[in-house]
Chain A
Amino acid sequence: MGYINEVISSRELLVNLTMREVKGKYKRTVFGQLWSLANPLAAMLIYTFVFAFIFKAHPDRGNPSGLDVFALWLLCGLLPWTFLATTINAGLGSLIANAGLVQKVYFSRIVLPLSNVAASGYNWLFEMGVLVVALSIAGAFVLPWLPLVVVLMVLLALFAAGIALMLAVANVYFRDTQNFVGILLQIWMYLTPIIYPLNLVQDQSDRIGGLFGTSITLVDVFRLNPMENFVDVFRQLLYDNRWPNASTFLVCTLWAFGSFIVGVWVFRRNEKNLAEAL
Chain B
Amino acid sequence: MTLKAAIMRGKRSVYEDFWALDEVSFEVPVGSTFGLIGSNGSGKSTLLKCLSKIYYPESGSISAYGKLAALLEVGSGFHHELSGRENIFLNGSILGMSKKEVTQKFDEIVDFSGVEHFIDQPVKNYSSGMYVRLGFSVAISVAPDILVVDEVLAVGDAEFQEKCRQKFIEFKNAGKTVILVSHSMDTVQQMCDKAAWLKNGRLVQVGEAAPTIQAYLGSLTTGSV
**Could you list which residues of chain A lie within 8 angstroms of chain B, going by C-beta atoms?**
12-13, 16-17, 19-20, 23-24, 27-28, 98, 100-107, 173-176, 272-273, 275-277
Range, interface on chain B:
20 to 34
Q: Which of B1, B2, B70, B77 counts the most A-chain CB atoms under 10 A from its CB?
A: B77
Asked whether, in the complex, the Cβ of B81 is within 8 Å of the Cβ of A16, the reply is no
Asked whether, in the complex, the Cβ of B81 is within 8 Å of the Cβ of A13, the reply is no
Which of B85-93, B109-117, B177-185 forms contacts with chain A? B85-93
What is the chain A residue whose CB lies nearest that of B49? Answer: A275
CA A24 to CA B90, docked complex, whole Å:
12
Asked whether, in the complex, the Cβ of B79 is within 8 Å of the Cβ of A24, the reply is yes
Residues of B within 8 A of A102 (CB): 54
B169 touches A (CB below 8 Å): no
Instruction: State the Cβ distance, A119 to closest chain B Cβ, in Å.
Output: 13
Q: A107-B96, A176-B2 are in contact. Are A20 and B90 (CB under 8 A)?
A: yes
Asked whether, in the complex, the Cβ of A12 is within 8 Å of the Cβ of B82, the reply is no
Given contacts A19-B90, A28-B81, 15 further A-B contacts (CB under 8 A): A16-B90, A20-B77, A24-B82, A101-B94, A103-B54, A104-B72, A104-B76, A105-B77, A106-B52, A107-B94, A175-B2, A176-B3, A273-B56, A275-B49, A275-B55
B95 touches A (CB below 8 Å): yes
CA A106 to CA B76, docked complex, whole Å:
11
Q: Which of A16, A23, A104 counts the most B-chain CB atoms under 10 A from its CB?
A: A104
Asked whether, in the complex, the Cβ of A105 is within 8 Å of the Cβ of B93, the reply is no
CA A236 to CA B194, docked complex, whole Å:
70
- The one of B2, B3, B70, B93 that contacts A106, using a Cβ cutoff of 8 Å: B70
CA A275 to CA B77, docked complex, whole Å:
15
CA A102 to CA B94, docked complex, whole Å:
11
Instruction: State the Cβ distance, B81 to closest chain A Cβ, in Å.
Output: 4
Asked whether, in the complex, the Cβ of A20 is within 8 Å of the Cβ of B93, the reply is no
Asked whether, in the complex, the Cβ of B81 is within 8 Å of the Cβ of A101, the reply is no
CA A273 to CA B1, docked complex, whole Å:
14
B108 touches A (CB below 8 Å): no
CA A24 to CA B76, docked complex, whole Å:
16
Asked whether, in the complex, the Cβ of A105 is within 8 Å of the Cβ of B81, the reply is no
B9 touches A (CB below 8 Å): no
Within 8 A of A (CB), among B144-179: none
DSSP class of B's interface residues: helix, strand, loop or mixed? loop
Residues of B within 8 A of A106 (CB): 52-54, 70
CA A172 to CA B87, docked complex, whole Å:
27
Residues of A within 8 A of B96 (CB): 107
CA A276 to CA B99, docked complex, whole Å:
30
Q: A16-B89, A20-B82 are in contact. Are A100 and B55 (CB under 8 A)?
A: no
Residues of A within 8 A of B99 (CB): 12
What is the chain A residue whose CB lies nearest that of B80? Answer: A24
Within 8 A of A (CB), among B101-130: none
- The one of B52, B54, B55, B79 that contacts A20, using a Cβ cutoff of 8 Å: B79
Q: A104-B73, A105-B70, A174-B6 are in contact. Are A276 and B79 (CB under 8 A)?
A: no
Instruction: State the Cβ distance, B197 to closest chain A Cβ, in Å.
Output: 25
What is the chain A residue whose CB lies nearest that of B100? Answer: A12
Question: What are 11 inter-chain pairs, A to B, with CB distance below 8 A?
Answer: A12-B98, A12-B99, A17-B90, A24-B81, A101-B94, A102-B54, A104-B76, A105-B70, A176-B2, A275-B49, A275-B54
Instruction: State the Cβ distance, A246 to closest chain B Cβ, in Å.
Output: 42
Closest 5 pairs between A and B when the two form their complex, measured CB to CB: A104-B73, A27-B81, A106-B53, A13-B93, A16-B93
Instruction: State the Cβ distance, A64 to closest chain B Cβ, in Å.
Output: 48
What 0/1 pattern do residues 1 to 40 of B give for CB contact below 8 A with A?
A: 1110010000000000000000000000000000000000
Residues of A within 8 A of B56 (CB): 272-273
CA A23 to CA B90, docked complex, whole Å:
12
What is the chain A residue whose CB lies nearest that of B86? Answer: A23
Asked whether, in the complex, the Cβ of A12 is within 8 Å of the Cβ of B6, the reply is no
Residues of A within 8 A of B90 (CB): 16-17, 19-20
Instruction: State the Cβ distance, A176 to closest chain B Cβ, in Å.
Output: 6
Asked whether, in the complex, the Cβ of A100 is within 8 Å of the Cβ of B93, the reply is no
CA A104 to CA B86, docked complex, whole Å:
20
